[in-house]
């Protein structure tokens, strides 16, 4: 689920918080890093379980309409495509998802107003109306509808954004990533309604967790040494006046280039240039890129960089 690029972002955020707080407790910093990573998975579970909750809400509405004192024809014979959507039903009945939500205390019981507002919004959309008017559906049609619903509404509904932002500060930068994860989970479901789909794992590979931990800890432990190298390459700048985020990006890059022999230099440079685009101002980004390339050239020229692959 979380690839190396996502993990670099998480490490950057954790390092920023660590240095900003003046903390010196490495174990506490590491714990905070993985707490933030775990919260990303919670958001994935929230969004996935919301799909099943939307169907439950529709089923309740159908039943209430049928039991009206004076039901009309549309109440007695509604389209049940959404209420009986095979993919949504698969999510709602997913045993492992239920267990993980229970363990992580992820519930929608107390947020039914939000679920109702989201469902009402979806039911007003043209793609929903077209889907409900189909004479019949199959599993593929049901799945395509859910994919469209995620793209158009679950990822763009402002009230849902506000709900998640209020619930956890860790989710402010995870929205796009979790959206990709959600789409991947749904798109890879086989056309077999009776076969439960596999939930994504938190880490894409077993070694990724160690990568995140090592990158975080080594950057802190090497911080003083990197200050000297960065300072020597920014002589016209007061190191204390360079934005903390920019300094951390350069320190992470040096840590990875000097300490992770299996990762080619070009890969590391490209990754941290991308990070600077995401988290630095345009002016600052040019500065970081220039200093990084200069430091790597000098370290390579003095044979201080040792790699298994270039």
- Give per-residue pLDDT as tens, 148-191: 999 999 999 999 999 999 998 888 778 888 988 898 888 878 66
Q: Where in the chain is the domain with CATH 1.10.940.10?
A: 222-301
Distance CA 285, CA 274 (A): 9
Paired tokens of 247: 């300094």
Collapsed DSSP state (helix, strand, coil) of residue 2: strand
Is pTM beyond 0.75? Reply is yes
Q: Are 276 and 284 in contact (CB under 8 A)?
A: yes
Give 224: exposed, middle or buried? Use CB within 10 Å, 0-12, 13-18, 19+. exposed
Using the CB atoms, write b or e for 88-122: b if 16+ within 10 Å: bbbbbebeebeebbeeeebebeebeebbeebbebb
pLDDT of residue 197: 81
- Residue 200 · residue 1 · CB < 8 Å: yes
At 50 the pLDDT is 97
Partners of residue 2 on adjacent β-strands: 203
Check: CB of residue 268 under 8 Å from CB of residue 260: yes
Locate 176 and state its tokens: 């796009």
Of the chain, the percentage scoring pLDDT greater than 70 comes to 96
Instruction: Please report the pLDDT score of residue 310 as a whole number.
Output: 53
Kindly tell me the burial class for residue 46, based on how many C-beta atoms sit within 10 Å of its own C-beta (0-12, 13-18, 19 or more).
buried
The residue length of the chain stands at 310
Instruction: Please give the mean pLDDT across all residues of the chain.
Output: 91
- Is 291 within 8 Å of 243 (Cβ atoms)? no
Relative orientation angle of helices 112-123 and 26-66, to the nearest 10 degrees: 60
pLDDT value at residue 172: 78
Compute φ and ψ for 2, nearest 5 degrees.
-85, 115
Q: What is the pLDDT of residue 92?
A: 94
Q: Does domain 222-301 have CATH number 1.10.3720.10?
A: no
Cβ atoms within 10 Å, residue 184 = 11
pLDDT at 131: 98
Q: What is the pLDDT of residues 240-265, one digit of tens each?
A: 678 889 999 999 999 999 999 999 99
pLDDT tens digits, 52-63: 999 999 999 999
C-beta of residue 141 within 8 angstroms of C-beta of residue 127 = no
Q: Give the pLDDT score at 151.
A: 93
Residue-wise pLDDT tens for the chain (310 aa)? 788 999 999 999 999 999 998 888 999 999 999 999 999 999 999 999 999 999 999 999 999 998 888 888 887 889 999 999 999 999 999 999 999 999 999 999 999 999 999 999 999 999 999 999 999 999 999 999 999 999 999 999 999 999 999 998 888 778 888 988 898 888 878 666 666 788 999 998 889 999 999 999 999 999 999 999 998 988 777 666 788 899 999 999 999 999 999 999 999 999 999 999 888 888 788 888 999 999 999 998 888 888 775 5
């Amino acid at each position: 689920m979380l690839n190396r690029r996502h993990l670099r972002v998480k490490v950057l955020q954790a390092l920023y918080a660590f240095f900003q707080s003046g903390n010196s407790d490495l174990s506490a910093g590491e714990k905070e890093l993985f707490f933030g990573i775990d919260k990303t998975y919670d958001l994935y579970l929230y969004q996935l379980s919301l799909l099943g909750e939307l169907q439950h809400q529709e089923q309740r509405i159908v039943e209430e309409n049928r039991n009206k004192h004076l039901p009309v024809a549309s109440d007695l014979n509604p389209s049940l495509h959404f209420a009986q959507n095979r993919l949504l039903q698969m999510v709602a009945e997913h045993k492992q998802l239920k267990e993980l939500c229970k363990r992580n205390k992820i519930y929608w019981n107390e947020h039914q107003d939000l679920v109702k507002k989201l469902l009402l919004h979806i039911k007003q959309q043209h793609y929903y109306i077209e889907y409900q008017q189909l004479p019949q559906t199959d599993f593929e049609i049901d799945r395509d509808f859910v994919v469209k619903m995620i793209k158009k509404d679950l990822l763009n509904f402002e009230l849902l954004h506000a709900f998640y932002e209020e619930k956890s500060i860790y989710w402010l930068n995870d929205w796009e990533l979790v959206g990709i994860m959600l789409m991947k989970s749904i798109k890879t479901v086989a056309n077999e309604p009776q076969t439960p789909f596999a939930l994504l794992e938190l880490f894409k590979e077993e070694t990724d967790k160690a990568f995140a931990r090592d990158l975080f800890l080594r950057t802190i432990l090497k911080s003083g040494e990197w200050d000297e190298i960065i300072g020597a390459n920014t002589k016209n700048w007061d190191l204390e006046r360079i934005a903390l985020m920019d300094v951390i990006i350069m320190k992470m890059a040096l840590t990875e280039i000097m300490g992770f022999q299996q990762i080619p230099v070009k890969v590391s440079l490209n990754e941290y240039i991308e990070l600077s685009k995401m988290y630095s101002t345009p002016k600052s980004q040019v500065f970081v890129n220039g200093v990084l390339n200069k430091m790597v050239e000098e370290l390579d020229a003095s044979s201080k960089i040792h790699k298994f692959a270039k």
